[in-house]
Chain A
Amino acid sequence: MDVFGSFALLLAFVCAVYAFVGGIFAIRTRHPLLVKSTRQAGMATCGLIFIATFSLVYLFFSDSYWVAYVVAHSNRDLSTFYKISALWAGQEGSLLFWSFLLAIYVFSALFAYRNKNGELMPYVGVVLAGVQIFFLTLNNFVASPFKVLASPGANGALDIYTRADGNGLTPLLQYPEMVIHPPNLYSGYTGFAIPFAFALGALLARYPGEKWIHLTRKWTMIAWCFQTAGILLGAHWAYAVLGWGGYWGWDPVENASLLPWLTGTAFLHSVMMQEKRGMMKVWNVWLVFLTFMLCILGTTLTRSGIVSSVHAFAQSSIGDWFVGFLAVIFLVCLTAYIKNRDYLKSENQLDSIVSRESSFLFNNLILLVSCVAVLSGTLFPVFSEWVSGSRISVGAPFFNKVNIPIGLLLLALTGLGPLLAWRKTSTESLKRNFLWPLILSLVFGAIVFALGLREFYSLICIILCVFVAATIAMEFFRGARVVRARTGLSWISSTVDLTLRNTRRYGGYIVHMGMVLIFVGLAGAAFNKDVQKEMRPGSTLQIGRYNLLLQNLDSRPEKNYTAERMIIEVFENNKPTMMLYPERRFFPTNEESGTMVAIYSTLRDDLYVVYAGQSPENQTPVIHAYLNPLVKWVWFGGAIVVMGTLVALLPNRRTVLALAGSMQPAAVTELGTVLAPSRTATLREGHD
């Protein structure tokens, strides 16, 4: 199977080269057969990558311990569930996994548009084939996952040998999140290749206007949704597994995943400027280019060893390949832009500073400033070493100080922007949209201040969260009221109907509401507490309103590890509440240890208990307990963001037709007039 997989990868490389070179000829000659054959070569490339990936998965399941990658990342006792995640546990496998996910996107795009956009698709196909050639070069010639174990034989030839068992999977990866976090994150990274290919293809094909944005909007949202879910799952993994009580440590690899998310978010907002007003065309093209380049940069940082990180793969020369690829992408984009920039001129002007257009500009400014600040902070150690010879480290406190004010500005714009009208916002409209949310948020701020909240940023954050939530709630209320008045539906049905009628706009509001909940959770981090104590059975530990009684310790052997656990009874305000079982696990195969944190999570706070080992002096068990306020809101908010994005991806329900069955013709006509937005009304609406 290793030969089969290896051959499939090689054949995929050949097909990709044909799709690329043949595609260029097809663009030049416009020969229909050549166009068709290069498209099919592109699809065949994807099929062959699928075969290679499944071959590697099969090698894991069949315990093929003559394949070096399988030996390094699996063992016989590893559960089937984690044998899947072993696929991306190392450099070679994760690069193949990149190719695999990219192939899914490429195949989907080529298949979906096989009979459409005949002039544009060859350009798109060439760009995608170019990206695939790069990754297949790595898969075949630089970091092949199908290398076998071999030693020199008696006659000088290499003999393949088989190991009895593998080295096992890193304990830190043996958690459920690690089976879903990397696929999500990688799907985000690879997904941005599609809008990138369409943007570059449209520029090369000299397409003016926003056609490529119409074509790729959903692809961009899918990639963004995966990226968001991937980042949040990664944060949850760090929280539940690493045992340090936090979920975001501004590690370079965490930062690398955040960078394309920030520019991708900026793009999702600024595309509306191009769609509605024919503005920011150059900016949008470069935002897509930048987002894809940041995806590649993130991968470069993870794999090159340029910056030290807990997540990074082993230091290797593979980073040079990525730097070279990044340089090629930049030069191609720059050349295409310089040659064809005349086709990207704006079609409209700005009528007023107080308008949706301005808010989008400032939204993009703040997202980009945050992105560049994170990037420069991440690379500053490298820069300082280059300039002065000594490395200056930039840790979490720096990123917190820089990004908290930026995040709050962004939160404020989340409330302001969607309710400003396109072109110009009247004073009356400002008053109607913002007066009550402003009053409500200030009153709430005064209440929490009176209750003792003195942390400046947390106070501002809570005030802004209430403000934004109120503006969003008002938008839903107003829309649902109109639907309810016309149809007689209940409030809930009216709200659902309203949302399904304009999924993009109301899905966007749901995403914003999710972000508000995430910010509420982040505000709680200022009040984290922790206590560390040596404890014997029968002793207690007090943290906040909780009292922890260590009842006993026990040990249980599992298939792949031995678990030693604490049995802790939790009392809340002196009432028995629940049992917690924090564990330490020892994995004999690779002689490594891991933790299983016990968390009692409520909307108010998380009681987070770690079995932190034994005191070196007297072998007494050590417990590290944290009380982290509002953390659950972060995960809850993340789920809402993903849900909102899925809603925004749904096609709009045709309201008039849907309601026509239950109403008289005259009423249908009247409703149609109300709901069908005029040009002016459309311009004044939110996220549509």
Chain B
Amino acid sequence: MTSPLHKRARRFATMILASFGAFFLLTGVAIAQQSERTREVGKKVRCMCGGCNDSASTCYHVGGEFSGPCGKAKAELKEIDDKVLKGDSDDAILQSFVQQYGSEVYVEPPKRGLSLVAWLLPSIYLVVGTVVVIFVISRWRSRVHHDFAPAAASGASHPGISAAELEQARQRVARETED
């Protein structure tokens, strides 16, 4: 039979072991997270070697050390890792790189200032293009009432050249070409 003293001692020992276990487990997790976090932040920071367009985490460019980040990208990752270990936030780490290299260090342009233009342009193209297409469609449709009906009657559909000239040109093409 186990005495209450023994029970307390075993419970205490279990708690100590559990605490150690939790400490090592959490430390391990923390290290793993830091490493993963470094890579994630590294994906937001450009490799500044000048020879590629990659992020520090994905740099494998020509002239870099084979199959891995080049020296510059490695140095950037090390710097990120140090700041992560110090407890800096992602934003603070990014800002420290912007202070060193300027806004060129962003892999993805930030959505403010001049960079915002880069983000807005595709939407502007889409809107303007859609307006143009709608305009073209409506013009083509209205041609039923304006261009073609009177043109058929008057025989002149193209203001720059006469219908006769256009027909002559068509006949010339038919004469001059063969598939």
Instruction: Find B170's partner among A208, A368, A369 (CB 8 Å cutoff).
Output: A208
Contact with A along B50-83 (1 / 0, CB 8 A): 1111110010111001111000000000000000
In this complex, which of B53, B104, B108, B144 has the most chain A Cβ atoms within 10 angstroms of its Cβ?
A: B53
- Report whether A376 and B118 are in contact in the complex, using a CB–CB cutoff of 8 Å: yes
Is B158's beta carbon under 8 Å from chain A?
yes
Bound: A402/B53 CA distance, A: 18
Minimal Cβ-Cβ distance residue in B for A378: B53
Is B15's beta carbon under 8 Å from chain A?
no
A211: B residues at CB distance < 8 A: 173, 177
- Report whether B62 and A172 are in contact in the complex, using a CB–CB cutoff of 8 Å: yes
Contact with B along A373-387 (1 / 0, CB 8 A): 100110011001001
Is A353's beta carbon under 8 Å from chain B?
yes
- Report whether A116 and B178 are in contact in the complex, using a CB–CB cutoff of 8 Å: yes
A558 to chain B minimum Cβ distance, whole angstroms, is 16
Bound: A584/B158 CA distance, A: 68
- Report whether B60 and A243 are in contact in the complex, using a CB–CB cutoff of 8 Å: yes
Is A682's beta carbon under 8 Å from chain B?
no
Chain B interface size, as a band, is 35 or more
In this complex, which of A118, A398, A406 has the most chain B Cβ atoms within 10 angstroms of its Cβ?
A: A398
- Report whether A349 and B137 are in contact in the complex, using a CB–CB cutoff of 8 Å: no
Bound: A309/B144 CA distance, A: 51
Is B157's beta carbon under 8 Å from chain A?
yes
- Report whether B169 and A118 are in contact in the complex, using a CB–CB cutoff of 8 Å: no
- Report whether A390 and B53 are in contact in the complex, using a CB–CB cutoff of 8 Å: no
Bound: A664/B143 CA distance, A: 49
Interfacial residues of chain A within 113-154, with CB under 8 A of chain B in the complex: 116-120
- Report whether A350 and B141 are in contact in the complex, using a CB–CB cutoff of 8 Å: yes
Instruction: Find B104's partner among A209, A351, A391, A406 (CB 8 Å cutoff).
Output: A391
Minimal Cβ-Cβ distance residue in A for B128: A369
A250: B residues at CB distance < 8 A: 53
- Report whether A395 and B170 are in contact in the complex, using a CB–CB cutoff of 8 Å: no
- Report whether A395 and B133 are in contact in the complex, using a CB–CB cutoff of 8 Å: no
Is A393's beta carbon under 8 Å from chain B?
yes
Q: A119-B176, A369-B129 are in contact. Are A394 and B109 (CB under 8 A)?
A: yes
Is B161's beta carbon under 8 Å from chain A?
yes
Q: A244-B60, A343-B166 are in contact. Are A393 and B107 (CB under 8 A)?
A: yes
A387: B residues at CB distance < 8 A: 114
Instruction: Find B52's partner among A310, A349, A365 (CB 8 Å cutoff).
Output: A310
- Report whether A118 and B176 are in contact in the complex, using a CB–CB cutoff of 8 Å: yes
A353: B residues at CB distance < 8 A: 137, 141
A350: B residues at CB distance < 8 A: 137, 140-141, 143
Minimal Cβ-Cβ distance residue in B for A373: B122
Bound: A211/B179 CA distance, A: 9
Contact with B along A340-382 (1 / 0, CB 8 A): 0111011001110100011001100100110011001100110
A672: B residues at CB distance < 8 A: none
Bound: A172/B115 CA distance, A: 34
Contact with A along B75-106 (1 / 0, CB 8 A): 00000000000000000000000000011111
Instruction: Find B129's partner among A242, A244, A310, A365 (CB 8 Å cutoff).
Output: A365
Is A479's beta carbon under 8 Å from chain B?
no
- Report whether B147 and A208 are in contact in the complex, using a CB–CB cutoff of 8 Å: no
Bound: A406/B105 CA distance, A: 27
- Report whether B176 and A310 are in contact in the complex, using a CB–CB cutoff of 8 Å: no
Is A308's beta carbon under 8 Å from chain B?
yes
B50: A residues at CB distance < 8 A: 308
- Report whether A392 and B143 are in contact in the complex, using a CB–CB cutoff of 8 Å: no
Is B160's beta carbon under 8 Å from chain A?
yes
Bound: A399/B16 CA distance, A: 53
Contact with B along A191-218 (1 / 0, CB 8 A): 0000000000000001111010011000
Minimal Cβ-Cβ distance residue in A for B147: A349
Minimal Cβ-Cβ distance residue in A for B44: A397
Is A688's beta carbon under 8 Å from chain B?
no
- Report whether B177 and A369 are in contact in the complex, using a CB–CB cutoff of 8 Å: no
- Report whether A249 and B109 are in contact in the complex, using a CB–CB cutoff of 8 Å: no
Is B136's beta carbon under 8 Å from chain A?
yes
Is A680's beta carbon under 8 Å from chain B?
no
- Report whether A361 and B179 are in contact in the complex, using a CB–CB cutoff of 8 Å: no
B170 to chain A minimum Cβ distance, whole angstroms, is 6
Interfacial residues of chain B within 18-74, with CB under 8 A of chain A in the complex: 46, 50-55, 58, 60-62, 65-68
- Report whether B133 and A361 are in contact in the complex, using a CB–CB cutoff of 8 Å: yes
B136: A residues at CB distance < 8 A: 361
B101 to chain A minimum Cβ distance, whole angstroms, is 10
- Report whether A395 and B108 are in contact in the complex, using a CB–CB cutoff of 8 Å: yes
A397: B residues at CB distance < 8 A: 107-108
A369: B residues at CB distance < 8 A: 122, 125-126, 129
Q: Residues of B with Cβ closer than 8 Å to A? A: 46, 50-55, 58, 60-62, 65-68, 102-109, 114-115, 117-119, 121-122, 125-126, 129-130, 132-133, 136-137, 140-141, 143-144, 147-148, 157-161, 166, 169-170, 172-173, 176-179
Top 8 A-B residue pairs of the complex, sorted by shortest distance between their CB atoms = A342-B160, A593-B66, A350-B140, A395-B107, A119-B176, A373-B122, A243-B67, A244-B60
Q: Residues of A with Cβ closer than 8 Å to B? A: 116-120, 170, 172, 206-209, 211, 214-215, 242-244, 246, 249-252, 279, 308-311, 341-343, 345-346, 349-351, 353, 357-358, 361-362, 365, 368-369, 372-373, 376-377, 380-381, 384, 387-388, 390-398, 402, 406, 584, 592-595, 610-613, 622, 624
- Given contacts A214-B179, A310-B61, could you give 12 more A-B pairs where the C-beta distance is less than 8 Å? A117-B176, A211-B177, A244-B58, A249-B53, A343-B161, A350-B143, A372-B125, A391-B103, A392-B103, A398-B119, A613-B66, A624-B67
6 pairs across A/B with beta carbons < 8 Å?
A172-B62, A208-B166, A211-B173, A395-B55, A396-B107, A593-B65
